[in-house]
A and B are shown apart, each in its own frame.
Chain A
Amino acid sequence: MSSFSADTPHSSSTMGRIFIYGILLIVAGYFLLPLIVMLFTSVKSMEEIRTGSLISFPTSITFEAWSKAWSSACTGVECSGLSGYFWNSVWLVTPTVTISTFLGALNGYVLTKWNFKGANVFFSMLLIGCFIPFQVILLPMARTLGFLGLAGTTTGLIMVHIIYGLSFTTLFFRNFYVSIPNELVKAAKIDGAGFFMIFWKIMLPLSIPIIVVSVIWQFTQIWNDFLFGVVFSAGEAQPITVALNNLVNTSTGVKEYNVDMAAAIIAALPTLFVYVVAGKYFVRGLTAGAVKG
């Protein structure tokens, strides 16, 4: 860009920039609009929602809808807000993300650095897992969980998410580890390090970018998941997405748009938070393999 502007007349380059930033602003506004509407609606009173227009600025700001969504809105027969379900999701996401990322790293390490007979077949089969839609595995998974006595439990749901996520995390780590030179592992073997020592002391410390990718990916997938949650968990143990659905669809009297919007934002906040905190590592990690390990 700088070399471009160096040999073009000053004014036309300024015009170009104004044009580009103008377009960017419009596009950004377009994408932000739904969020803005949600945010505005969530801090309006029902009175104002009924009388005002959808995108008008709130005249008086109130957090009543937020507090109701969090602690007293009805999700079906129960009326204790989203808070319980929010923590359900946290307790669901934490072990699933950790375990599936760890196992993905281990898989990728074995697949790339400890070549065994049939490694390629194994990897191809695992890869197919990335292309299997959620719906396809619902029935077999339900039977399996029933067989294991885990139907309708949080443990069962955790297991489903780990298994489904493994294809992706393995793919991430495998592709990252092929770019790490095999000689590094050879050197460690000669230094006397064994299988797990090499994994802990050499591979994992080099894996930060891809761990971030895997964590973000798994976090958003599992936090935002609705289908597995609604099928494989019951009642109290349901994740926040299912609770949000119940909250919005519970019809007792008037539809409270402000509470719905606040609830939706609450449900989306953690993924937003993860992106803001780790987003730049995400982009860096995705391209890390292409540069150098």
Chain B
Amino acid sequence: MGALTIKNVCKSYGPVDILKGIDIDIQAGEFLILVGPSGCGKSTLLNMIAGLDGITSGEIQIDGRVVNNLPPKDRDIAMVFQSYALYPNMNIRRNISFGLEIRKVPKSEQDRIVNEVASMLQIDNLLDRKPSQLSGGQRQRVAMGRALARKPALYLFDEPLSNLDAKLRVDMRTEIKMLHERLKTTIVYVTHDQIEAMTLADKIAVMKGGIVQQFGSPRQLYDDPSNMFVAGFMGSPSMNFVPCKVVDMGNEAGVEIDGGAGTFRLPIKSNQLKSSVGQEVMLGIRPEKVTHKIESHLEDPNFHLAKCRVSIKEPTGPDTHIFVHMNGAKVVCRSNPDSAKEPGEEMEMMFDLSKMVFFDPKTEERLV
């Protein structure tokens, strides 16, 4: 139940192209996250999947069935909205059962489902209240309950947690994850929060400007971003970008970096960029891949030590963020608090060479 295929879907409002050829394909039971900055077309795409708005061209399949011309009620979907959209005039019980009522589910069956959903979401004691008498977190649960009451092929969530406070958001995130583990249903979930995306998803589609920048598993996106936008968007603090020149290091190519305490060269493993010697590239490396000196890695050829000058030190508790300027770009490094040096001092930083990625500084695309 619930595979979703989106083929070359475009959407224009008048002369404005909002979605420009979206291709996404997920298996039944997968958790798909659409993530991207505000205004990139995530909600628009979700509305198209729901059938609340028509597509300009392309094809959407749910469970192998083309749904392009089906109204929302015939698409076998349920949706949770950012504003929850609970019916203010109905009590919670009725809010949850409204969809069942319209589908002419027998009354006794309705009651059974409402009670089941309510106990699953721990809202049993709220059933006779009106939505206005509920807190934000409770409303959120009811909105999910309304979606869960029917057993559709596909659940659609549009930023369901963005109106909750930080603490509740983390709790609900875990609950949604547990719910998915338990129900094994297909979920399409929109968010602009990359942490939500990383923690929840089986598959992530990073969107920008109506285009899917990259589609893949969280790991793929994190380790193998296909362009600088995806690289910078996923992860917090985000990936460091250092402009540098490719140099010849005998067997392999390397990049030359000035870290404020003399220049050093980082060899590029896996025979990359040998043909690009002399060219400018953008080195991408995540903060946790530039660390304090770790003794156990000293023998490993994938790790490289180099002296850099500390500009700023930011303790976060478990680690301390060290800010270093490399070739003029600000680079965040994640250090053990005990090993962190003071601003102005030199510090030996350890680079994980296997996790370096390179981008074309002009097109911002990944270099192979």
Measured CB to CB, the residues of A under 8 A from B are 181, 183-184, 186-193, 197, 201-202, 205-206, 293
In-complex Cβ contact of A184 among B50, B78, B87, B99 (8 A): B87
The yes or no answer to B54 lying at the interface (CB within 8 A) is: no
**Chain B residues within 8 Å of A206, by CB:** 88-89
Q: Which of A188, A192, A205 has the most CB of B within 10 A?
A: A192
Chain B interface size, as a band, is 20 to 34
**Chain A residues within 8 Å of B50, by CB:** 186, 190
Contact status of A186 and B81, CB under 8 A, knowing A191-B102, A192-B99, A197-B102: yes
B44 to chain A, nearest CB (A): 13
Number of A-B contacts (CB under 8 A): 56
With the chains together, A98 CA to B85 CA distance in Å? 30
With the chains together, A190 CA to B146 CA distance in Å? 11
Measured CB to CB, the residues of B under 8 A from A are 47, 50, 52, 71-73, 77-79, 81-83, 85-89, 98-99, 102-103, 146
With the chains together, A206 CA to B88 CA distance in Å? 8
In-complex Cβ contact of B103 among A184, A186, A187, A192 (8 A): A192
| B102 and A192 within 8 A (CB) | yes
| A187 and B79 within 8 A (CB) | yes
| B52 and A186 within 8 A (CB) | yes
| B89 and A186 within 8 A (CB) | no
| A190 and B79 within 8 A (CB) | yes
| B81 and A187 within 8 A (CB) | yes
With the chains together, A187 CA to B98 CA distance in Å? 10
| A191 and B85 within 8 A (CB) | no
| B73 and A190 within 8 A (CB) | yes
**Chain B residues within 8 Å of A192, by CB:** 72-73, 99, 102-103
CB closest residue in chain B, given A181:
B83
With the chains together, A186 CA to B77 CA distance in Å? 13
In-complex Cβ contact of A183 among B72, B73, B83, B88 (8 A): B83
Contact status of A189 and B102, CB under 8 A, knowing A183-B85, A205-B89: no
| A193 and B102 within 8 A (CB) | yes
**Chain A residues within 8 Å of B86, by CB:** 187
In-complex Cβ contact of A190 among B72, B88, B89 (8 A): B72
